[in-house]
Chain A
Amino acid sequence: MTLARNLRGVGGALPQILTLAVVLAANWAVFPDFFDLRLQDGRLFGSLVDVLNRGAPVAILSIGMTLVIATRGVDLSVGAVMAIAGAVAATLAADGQPIFLVIGAALAAGLACGLWNGFLVAVLDIQPIIATLILMVTGRGIAQLVTEGQIVTFTDPALAAVAASSAFGLPMPVVIAVALALVAALLVRATALGLMIEAIGVNRLASAYAGVDARGVLMAAYATSGVAAAVAGLVVTADIRGADANNAGLWLELDAILAVVIGGTSLFGGRFSILLSLVGALVIQALNTGILLSGYPPEMNLIVKAVVITVILVLQSPAVRRLATFLKRSDAP
């Protein structure tokens, strides 16, 4: 019984895994060394590792974004929140503050942003896209206010280690993304939060009538998104050892939303899977890395991206899936 259900769970993930496989295979086709890995100083190196490493910020964003989208919302502010968190961290680190304060302050800034969004959506009942658009615009300004428009660089090795060190042979951002995803998945699935998020996303009114604390759950979802964005902001700041308030996380909200959608969570809320959103983030990054490795002129980047996304769409569309089941069924005796 349980086995059957688990198998069905895997079956549900099939389109995403298939998509990832297709994109990776395409990368291999344009760049034969794509799967080469080598171990150096106890850390793995190779294009595949780059995909994981570079995909980490979007993957981290997609964790929070999944929850928000599952409540039938959307968080456009994550890119700006990344910039704020990065600006706070870099400024404090450049000031020589201890690392726990640096990281603590950045995460607190992210949490505050998330709670603000949650407040607008849950309490003031402002449409999520507009509510978070406000912070998307303002947030980047706030980040620049913190850095005074400059790229603030720092030398603190402890902060740099957030991106530069490694664990289990993998770059730290990957470890952080996976750990965060597991914690988040555990948080929502080992408690009833996941169920309530889904219930609210499907029918907020009915859920409220059933006694679900819709406001609290919404706040929790947006807060998670804020914190995740802060973590992503820390990662990119640590990576370039500086905070670029204007460009950090620019347009990454679109990538994060795309990752969630590729991961199979509907923009109309409801059923969600954090781990599949990670797969979605990997698909996007594998696509980006593939474009870089291919050596096509940069003018082609967007066209290639458009074509690949279209193919993914077709592959994952319910219509095509139905066709596939139909063909399979008519094959059977």
Chain B
Amino acid sequence: MDPTPALLEIRGLAKSFPGVKALDRVDFTLRAGEIHALLGENGAGKSTLIKVMTGVHRRDGGEVRLDGVAIDPADTADAQRHGIGTVYQEVNLLPNLTVAENLFLGRQPTRLGFVDGRRMRRDAAALLAEYGLAVDPDSVLGEHSVAVQQIVAIARAVDLSGKVLVLDEPTASLDAGEVQVLFQTVRRLAARGIGVVFVTHFLDQVFEICDRATVLRNGRLVGERRIAELSRLDLVTMMLGRELAEETMIRHRGTRTAAEPFLSLAGYGRRAFVQPLDLEIRPGEVVGVAGLLGSGRTETAKLVFGVKEADSGSATVDGRRVRIASPRAAAALGFGFCPEDRKTEGIVGDLGVRENIVLALQARRGWLRPIPRREAEAIAARFVRLLDIRTSDVDKPIRLLSGGNQQKALLARWLATEPRFLILDEPTRGIDVGAHAEIIRLIEKLCDDGLALMVISSEIDEIVAYSDRVVVMRDRAKVGELAGADVSVEGIVRAIAGEARP
């Protein structure tokens, strides 16, 4: 049937966790030199498949063959020895080590038994240069933005993959340019005969570089298709098990500019963090924030939310001067913030889904007024339903949820506080197409009810789709603001590039 021989062959793979059958007799075939998309809704079992395959979890049953030989990696080091390089979904590097150490951990070049620091730095710089990243290999990884860390993780995995490269949502916070660099690398590897497994929720990317797709749903295999023989609609239908109405791409910008601003910032900034900027946000309005990697979008969000206090300018909420000294103060003003780095800044891993959802609401009420158990259950149940959070149990520790479902729970955390102003930093990171549509619909409804929204996204299309206005950042400074007809992909790209508007 297919001329290319199978490189990696998985048959009947099964894995259960308490309360969930994460993988139920799944088959998967990866051929040498192909780029193979692994698709499915949040919680479908994609990450689990990858983890079982690479020795993070022990499998309950099934078989994995690499080059026709059955393998059973006992741990990830074992998988690496087999030539499988992996980028796991959560950035799984070590923030306390340097960039170079992260790249070469466990295989540092040595001389006379000692790590050859100079060579390691040189190799690291060369490796990173391929991705256009000019960071100091000796700098501590944790100082860099999520995106930089992600590139480092990719570079490491690529360097490790002798036969198979596995990428679990590697592009979530990369901008278009970075994604192109990544794709070039992936294509180059594929041309060399390496098989690439690619998990993503961006269907455009699937159609752009993948040869084939395998779709999972609820831990079961739905099917394997060649991309060339597939339409977008087919693919979505396979993933969701139903058709998705395409109505989500409506946009509503320019409708509510008349209202009095909810929040206005004047000359608001912090030395060595964000240059002073002016910004107004009105109820019911969606303000997009666009910019390249490291342009200061995340910093702007943190400044507005009081994570770092501003040292210049003023902030006014509902016409009253306010001081936003801490997230607590911001939350008290009716702000909410879903951070980009969900693992370290978002989820409280060991606590249950319910507790994570009510945390912000509880914090705002104060510890003396506990949310009664029954009410908490009701809130959690409502959002689990509303956002379709897939969990076997609302008491399940949130770190055990799939990435996309964690993201939804974080959104629920702030929605539960009925905020008046919500800041979302890369909100759709890791969220599947179906849920994506649901969330956008939900946000639009909330905006209709008067919620103000600031959305940071690396997806310019997405920003264009729902923003009334777009703020463009460069070098930690606001360099432009687009409204009305100017809000277009082209307009934004121009502004980012620093060209004068026509």
Identify the A interface with B (CB < 8 A). 190-193, 195-196, 198-199, 202-203, 205-213, 217, 270-271
Contact = CB atoms under 8 A, between A and B. Distances in A.
A120 to B, nearest CB: 20
B370 A190 contact: yes
A206 B414 CA distance: 13
Interface of B: 305, 307, 326-328, 330-332, 337, 339, 344-351, 355, 359-360, 362-371, 413
Closest 3 CB pairs of A and B: A211-B331, A211-B363, A192-B370
Contacts of A208: 326-328
Contact of A191 (B327, B347, B367): B367
Contacts of B355: 195, 198-199
Contacts of B413: 210
A196 B348 contact: no
Given A209-B346, A210-B359, 4 more contacts: A191-B367, A195-B359, A202-B350, A206-B348
Contacts of A203: 344, 347-349
**Which of A198, A199, A208, A209 has the most chain B CB atoms inside 10 A of its CB?**
A209
A199 B351 contact: yes
B347 A212 contact: no
Contacts, number: 83
20 contacts: A191-B370, A192-B365, A196-B363, A196-B367, A198-B350, A198-B351, A198-B355, A199-B351, A199-B359, A205-B344, A206-B346, A206-B348, A207-B348, A207-B363, A208-B327, A209-B327, A210-B331, A210-B359, A217-B367, A271-B350
A195 B344 contact: no
A211 B364 contact: yes
A199 B355 CA distance: 9
A71 B355 CA distance: 16
Contacts of B370: 190-192, 195
B278 to A, nearest CB: 25
A209 B368 CA distance: 20
A269 to B, nearest CB: 8
B338 to A, nearest CB: 9
A209 B339 contact: yes
Contacts of B347: 203, 206
A210 B359 CA distance: 7
A190 B368 CA distance: 9
Nearest to B18: A325
A206 B364 CA distance: 15
Contacts of A192: 362, 365-371
Contacts of B360: 210-211
A268 B240 CA distance: 40
A286 B301 CA distance: 55
A207 B366 CA distance: 13
Contacts of A196: 362-363, 367
